[in-house]
Amino acid sequence: PEARPLAKCAKSFAHLDNNRCNIEVLQMPETIPQLVDQELDELIRSAIMQRNLLRFTYKGNERIAEPHDYGIQNGIVRVFCFQVAGRSTSPLPGWCLVDVHEMQDYEILEQHFGGNREAPSGRHHRWDEVFIRVGPPANSKVKRLR
């Protein structure tokens, strides 16, 4: 897939229902602690809002993944992804929890993903704070955050 320039996140966020996928924005960009590079923060938000794949290097492996949840867990800014290609120590495709400060060589791809996926446990990770996430489909067993 071909990379495209980073699209700026909209300053006005709304609950979007597009192609059976809700986007839940729970924190405005201005309120995020300065724990993450602003460009990377905007890239992750944009990828989730537009449902674009991300390509990045993490722990020495190039990965291509669908970003689903982005927030703070145990005091660390993380993104919960469904990795679809690249290299990993776990079988692919599969879920991975990525520490954002360890992401390198990141870019947003033109390729889109269809929306939320059910996590194996039937729910996504517990978060201290969620900035943005691909919301569960209407018929999902996953509880909405709002």
* pLDDT tens profile 65-85: 999 999 999 889 999 999 999
**CA distances, 111 to each of 17, 20, 65, 66, 84 (Å):** 19, 17, 11, 10, 12
Residue 62 placed within a domain: yes
Indicate whether 37 belongs to any domain.
yes
Domain that holds residue 88: 18-113+125-134
Residue 98 lies in a domain: yes
Tokens coding 51: 């449902």
pLDDT given at position 42:
93
Instruction: With CA atoms as reference, report the closest residue to 43 among 124, 125, 103.
Output: 103
Question: Could you tell me if residue 41 is left (phi over 0), alpha (psi between -120 and 50 degrees) or otherwise beta?
Answer: alpha
* The pLDDT value given to residue 122: 54
Quote the pTM value: 0.71
Question: Does residue 75 lie in a domain region?
Answer: yes
- Collect all residues with Cβ–Cβ distance below 8 Å to 87 and sequence separation of at least 6: 61, 62, 63
Residue 36 placed within a domain: yes
How many domains does the structure of the chain reveal?
1
DSSP 43: H
Cα angle: 53, vertex 6, 123; to 5 degrees = 35
pLDDT, mean of residues 82-104: 93
Asked whether residue 76 is domain-assigned, the answer is yes
CB 84 within 8 A of CB 66: yes
State which H helix or E strand residue 61 sits in.
strand 61-73
Q: How many CB atoms lie within 10 A of CB 99?
A: 13
74, part of any domain: yes
pLDDT digits (tens, 9 = 90+) for 4-54: 333 333 322 333 334 444 555 555 444 455 667 889 999 999 999 999 999
